[in-house]
Structure 1
């Protein structure tokens, strides 16, 4: 009887809880945003956390990786077209149990132009769409941003409560953080005071001394904004998109799969932290 009451209480709490929304962003391409979205989402789902990934990139890499079909509905939603579908309408399940995705469309490349023609409020459309998601449908929503700081990425920052920044352990990648962090500060100040935390994730980390030194530099400059988890450079991760499965499924015992599981644990522990 007590167990049933606990189970019912947990279900009720989940129904009332809004999803934790994390924008995965970096204006530099090829730094692991999609890898982070797909594999972190799968690792969280594996741990029993219902996850929705939203592919906001016209290149559609997350959509292809998770074997989803391209869908023009996201274009209609972001441009506030009449009778646009909801995010719940657009979400489709993936092979990773508990992970759903809103597929991208190649026409997202035209969303920026359509949004720019709006006199005011275009950057809030995604936030409004997320607010319409029934509480408890997903516990975590991951926004896979395009490799730019254009209006789609700004919309993701306006909609999110947190930002996760995958960063390669290289000099140029580290230097590129400054522009993104400055943009996050501006969005927080003017459009989204609820953007509570920035998290920096070192990815594709090899065993070289310079990689270790650059990670140490990140920690010294950004402190607790830098996650303790690092994603190691691993052939299994490079192979995973070809298998069209998250690495937790294509190579479940690999070191990099364990890295993403560790990342899922760390993010769950950091939930509810004050603004950085």
Structure 2
């Protein structure tokens, strides 16, 4: 499949109204595979196409917040919402510089959430109850999960309608996907029967190397039509955009990586995963 056919999917038609949002978890227990980069740039691309988007930073590292230039130090965060210190999500939501893209930030406090939640009633459903309060105000909510299959990730999957798995085009990255799919199936079976695997997104692809091409072929062989046609290439522009606190679709809008994320947004709409 071509990794450069950026006009394969049509530009989405405008929406007549807003909400209720479809909630998507960006999930992989392996770190460094492009979850946060994808959350930021998919969210920004959907916002550019007129969708109201809320990105939820669900990783104690707070990379999503930093990548969108959002302060998460002196302001309330997702942690306060989870533990009930703040009841209204509107007190936590911050507007990014991208029109139509809002953020619920996170910081290191979130690392204590699993210990706090472990004794709570319906502990797997706390994020779902938080997002329910704002779901009608957005078209898409994207949850950027931490690299773990712990209670926070289970909360995200329980709250979600779909899950996207960014998968680095590297051999060892393939090994953990079976475990993640097993976790998704357990959540489907026990907590959230409506959860769907929206797709597996190949990331950090380097077409110059045989290794990347072979891994991509194996991903297609293993997962078939569950693999997005869009493939995200490797580029130094991503860290540059992160340092600037701006999505690559605005930092370098004509770069191939920006075009790829806009195609991903169009592909999600074409697949019916996003309105």
User: Is the TM-score greater than 0.5?
Assistant: yes
Partner of 2:49: 47
Give 1:132-147 correspondences, 5 Å limit: 132-133=133-134, 135=136, 137-147=137-147
Q: For 2:50 and 2:119, how far apart are their aligned partners in 1?
A: 42
1:256 counterpart residue number = 257
Q: Secondary structure at the match of 1:54?
A: strand
Per-residue Cα deviation, 1:1-50 (whole angstroms, up to 9, x for no partner): xxxxxxxxx64xx35x4101100010011111100010111111111111
Larger Rg: 1
Q: TM-score, normalised by structure 1?
A: 0.89
* Structure ranking higher in helix proportion: 1
Q: Which has the higher contact order (CA 8 A, sep 6+)?
A: 2
For residue 199 of structure 2, give the secondary structure of its aligned residue in structure 1. Answer: strand
What does 1:180-191 correspond to in 2, within 5 Å?
180-191=180-191
Question: C-alpha offsets along residues 168-216 of structure 1, whole Å, 9 cap, x if unaligned?
Answer: 0011101111110000000001000110234100001001122112111
Alignment partner of 1:165: what SS? strand
Which residue of 112, 115, 118 maps to 2:114?
A: 112
What is the aligned residue count? 257
Note the aligned Cα RMSD (angstroms): 1.5
Gaps of 5+ in 1: 1-9
Q: In 1, are the aligned partners of 2:77 and 2:104 still within 8 Å (CA)?
A: no
How does the TM-score come out when normalised to structure 2? 0.89
Cα offset for 1:218?
A: 1.0
| 1:120-131 aligned within 5 A | 120-131=121-132
Conserved 8 A contact 2:76-2:91: no
1:123-178: per-residue Cα shift (whole Å, max 9, x none)?
1011111222151x110000000110111110000000000111100111011111
What are the ranges of 5 or more consecutive residues in structure 2 without an aligned counterpart?
Answer: 1-14
